[in-house]
Amino acid sequence: MYIVAIGWAYVILMMVVTASSIGKALAILVFLGVLPIALFVYAFGGRKSAYRSGAMPDQVPDQPDTADSQSDQH
């Protein structure tokens, strides 16, 4: 996931380097660089994603199902 952000940052850096003025370079850097990368990392790559932060509400942590196993062994 981070490779996409790194590649995008490289492309934007090359656009900033070739910009004709400092104002254009700063506008490109902010609007095409910083904001989209921040949004991308927030949406897809944060350390605590909604799906990875813990067990889903309908899931129980890893506990053996003792009720079924005991009834099968009798």
CB 45 within 8 A of CB 1: yes
The C-alpha atoms of residue 55 and residue 1 are separated, in whole angstroms, by 23
What is the number of structural domains in the chain? Answer: 1
Residue 27 lies inside a defined structural domain of this protein: yes
Residue 72 lies inside a defined structural domain of this protein: no
**Residue of 67, 19, 11, 66 lying closest to 36 (CA atoms):** 11
pTM score? 0.56
Residue 16 lies inside a defined structural domain of this protein: yes
pLDDT in tens, 54-73: 555 565 566 665 666 565 56
Residue 64 lies inside a defined structural domain of this protein: no
The boundaries of the domain holding residue 39 are 1-43
Residue 53 has pLDDT above 60, yes or no: no
DSSP type of residue 64: -
DSSP alpha helix (H) spans, 1-74: 2-17, 22-28, 35-44, 66-72
- How confident is the model at residue 12, as a pLDDT? 95
pLDDT in tens, 13-48: 999 999 999 999 999 999 999 999 889 888 887 665
